[in-house]
Structure 1
Amino acid sequence: MSLSFDSSEFRRILGHYPTGVCAITACCDGEPVGMVVGSFTSVSLDPPLVAFFPDRTSTSWPKIEQAGRFCVNILSDGQHDVCRALASKGGNKFDRVSHRPSGAGLPIIDGSVAWIDCDLYAVHEAGDHYIVVGQVHSLEAAHDQKPLLFFQGGYGQFSPFAAIAV
């Protein structure tokens, strides 16, 4: 099948859809590991499942997979520096990222909008990415934070409209 578009056009068009920015964290060999993803979604209520989509070339994903559990940290609109640190290649990504352990011992990034602790449930190959499904076992949200968003190649924030009475 011949496509009428190339990968840069595909990326540009899909960039019209804003996404939240999440940091996926885990501990591997006693050290925190993390990566940033812009693809995260709920999957199921019963059992409670979520998913994210790491690139197959990621060097952080194999460490998170090896851990067998992970924490999804929904980054807040003031966490551009955390996003840059965890998206970087090599080195200690957590040098300047303030975090604390969850009940399961996974890194919760301080200042995040919410965190979701998961056990690895399934991994599926999907083109140049994986579909990673996690079963949620604990979660918490900070009600005074706004999420960091990625839209058309840049970062921004979201402010909800006031509730509309119907």
Structure 2
Amino acid sequence: MKLDAVPSDPAALRVLFAQIPQSVVALCGLDASGTPHGVAASSFTPISLEPPLVSVAMAETSTTWPTLRRMPRVGVSLLSHSQADTCRTLAAKGRDRFANLRWSSTVGSSAVFVDGAADGREPLIFHGSGFRRLAAIRPQGIQ
């Protein structure tokens, strides 16, 4: 991919950006009434270990992010390769995203974690406008 000039056509820019593989995380939390809220994000980037910092970007049009950002803690779940449907559920608009989703929260905290997230599993990757799995590249000459 070579970016000499930023395309002015949003569709062309989408095609260009789709060539960048992204891991997918779920950002979820409980509001004061105990109701879970969450979103799927592929713009999650670790920044620092000490102190632990991450960066995530949300669309200006997100109606969930304003709720999440007011929470004292938000859980981050790295979705596993088998959780494409979970990602689609968390990205859906106009319905209860947690109706059929298995999750847990930490005691005394508003952080919510999606069950089955990538704890030792291969992560879910978004690339080329679709979900993918990682594949190891074998060094040449090794079969």
TM-score grouping bracket, smaller chain normalisation? 0.7 to 0.9
Q: Residue in 1 aligned with 2:117?
A: 112
2:25 is aligned with 1:22: yes
Note the aligned Cα RMSD (angstroms).
2.1
Q: Residue in 2 aligned with 1:158?
A: 134
Query: Matches of residues 63-82 of structure 1 in structure 2 within 5 Å?
Result: 63-82=67-86
Q: Which whole-Å CA distance do the structure 2 matches of 1:79 and 1:66 have between them? A: 27
- Segments of 5+ residues of structure 1 without an aligned counterpart are 114-141
TM-score computed with the length of structure 2 as normaliser:
0.84
TM-score computed with the length of structure 1 as normaliser:
0.73
SS at match of 2:28: strand
Aligned residues: 134
- The answer (yes or no) to whether the contact 2:6–2:13 under 8 Å persists in 1 is no
Query: Matches of residues 1-166 of structure 1 in structure 2 within 5 Å?
Result: 4-29=7-32, 30-103=34-107, 104-113=109-118, 142-143=119-120, 145-161=121-137
Q: Which whole-Å CA distance do the structure 2 matches of 1:78 and 1:42 have between them? A: 23
- Give, in angstroms, the shift of residue 4 of structure 1: 4.9
Which letter maps to 1:27?
Answer: L
User: Which has the higher Rg, Structure 1 or Structure 2?
Assistant: 2
Q: Which has the higher strand share?
A: 1
